[in-house]
Structure 1
Amino acid sequence: MKILAFSDLHLARRAARGLVEASVDADLVVGAGDFCNMRQGLDQAMEMLSGITAPMVLVPGNAESADELRAAALPGTTVLHAEAAEVEGVTFFGLGGGVPAPPFGEWSWNLTEEEAATLLAPCEAVDILITHSPPKGVADRTSQGLSVGSEAVRAAITRIAPPLVLCGHIHDCWGERGHIGASEVVNLGPEGTWFDIAP
């Protein structure tokens, strides 16, 4: 399965055009959150991606809630938040929101570490874990050098050992990769990253 994955579109038209153009070669498109800005413009973001004909699996970021994303999602889209789905023999589990809560104000859709741990607990085996927030210590450093990833996400990765973890959220780490045990963690960014996954 050829997967085109991205995060943090934030209504960027050029990036959206590039994703639509690239998606003609994709079996599946994965979006790891933050399609709009500050809970505004989600319908516009989905319209910008409407040229994608491949199935999509999306996880909400902190710029939109799970309910908002489910309401706005295009036909053929699976929205995952604290739930799993299987696509062509590949299993996914998604967790959205900012974990821990970033200092962005009341508009940000966040989870505490405790809430995230509870929502991740049902995930026992998965091929690809999609979280908006990166795990603590991997692809999670701000421009000031602060590690702001999630302890709950890291603990889940350690417990589940998924082959691949896709995340975003920390813009300074777009494109960074790292490992937690045998799990590869990739902070995606809006340009699109390709993965070839065998079921």
Structure 2
Amino acid sequence: MRLIGIADTHNKHHQIPIPDGDILIHAGDCTDGGTRNETKNFLEWFSRQPHQYKLLVPGNHDFFFEKPEYLKNIPSNIHLLIDNGVEIEGIKFWGSPVTPGLSNWAFNRERGEQIRKHWELIPQDTDILITHTPAFGILDEISRGINLGCEELAQILKVVQPSHHLFGHIHHGSGSVLRSGIRYSNLSVLDERLQAVHSPAVIDTHTQ
């Protein structure tokens, strides 16, 4: 099964050539201001993509997904993952949009116990974890050399041990690395100047 992964498109989704695959995954920040019109535009584009399955995890810019009354308007062919999961052809996916921080961004949670409650929801048999935030110390370094990933998520990953952890949020950290049996992929397609410089990730995985 071929997974195509993107994140941090910030309204520039129309500019990004999307490869063919079975599952298209967006790991957050599909919009920039999180407005109704931005969200509608993205969802219409995302739902039209030819991939059989489409998974969406919102990011800290995607304010409209925090509105319960809007969630009923998600196109039926998109799996919206907000602290929940879906099984596709034997592969168990789990997604969460929360990011550590105290500012007024969408889905922000305080570091420590508050955000840990979200990570403790992740089932231990998760095969592929999709979050917006990276774990601390893994593809989470901004250009000034500061790591902004989540310490609590890093601890939970040692227990859950998915085969893949897909995320975005830190544009400067785009890329992939294998550590302790987990393939970590930062799916950011825009750089820190919001220019589309990175290609979508292509991930081949096996069904059970």
TM-score range, shorter chain: 0.7 to 0.9
The alignment partner of 1:4 has SS state of: strand
Report the CA distance between 1:72 and its aligned residue.
Answer: 5.1
In structure 1, give the amino acid aligned to 2:40. Answer: D
Partner SS state of residue 142, structure 2: coil
The letter for the 2-side match of 1:78 is H
| 1:89 aligned residue | 90
Q: In the alignment, what sits opposite 2:30?
A: 35
TM-score (norm 2): 0.83
Equivalent positions of 1:147-186 (< 5 A) are: 147-174=147-174, 176-186=175-185
SS across alignment from 2:108: coil
Segment of structure 1 superposing worse, 89-98 or 126-135? 89-98
| TM-score normalised by L of structure 1 | 0.87
Amino acid at match of 1:33: G
Structure 1 residue 127 corresponds to structure 2 residue 127: yes
- The amino acid that maps onto 2:144 is Q
RMSD: 1.9
Give how far 1:107 is off.
4.1
- In structure 1, C-alpha distance between the alignment counterparts of 2:163 and 2:90, rounded to whole Å: 15
> How far 1:178 moved relative to its partner?
2.5
Answer yes or no: is the 8 Å Cα contact 1:138–1:179 preserved in 2: no
Is the CA contact (8 Å cut-off) linking 1:167 and 1:188 kept in structure 2?
Answer: yes
1:45 aligns with 42
Structure 1 residue 192 corresponds to structure 2 residue 200: yes
Q: How many Å separate the matches in 2 of 1:91 and 1:35?
A: 23
Mind listing any 5+ residue stretches in structure 2 that lack a counterpart? 190-198
Shift of 1:39: 1.8
Partner SS for 1:49: helix
Deviation at 1:182, TM superposition (A): 1.2
Aligned counterparts of 1:86 and 1:44: Cα–Cα separation in 2: 27
Task: Kindly indicate whether residue 108 of structure 2 is the aligned counterpart of residue 110 of structure 1.
Answer: yes
Decide whether the 8 Å contact of 1:158 with 1:180 is kept in 2. Answer: no
Give aligned-pair identity as a percent.
Answer: 25
Matched, 1:76 2:74: no
- Segment drifting more, 133-142 vs 153-162: 153-162
Q: Verify the 8 A CA contact 2:47 2:77 in the aligned structure 1.
A: no
Aligned residue pair count: 190
Partner of 2:57: 59
1:68-102, Cα deviation, whole Å (9 max, x unpaired): 5835533211111211210111101111132x117
Query: Partner of 1:101 in structure 2?
Result: 101
CA contact (8 A) 2:47 2:54 kept: no
1:13 Cα offset (Å) = 4.2
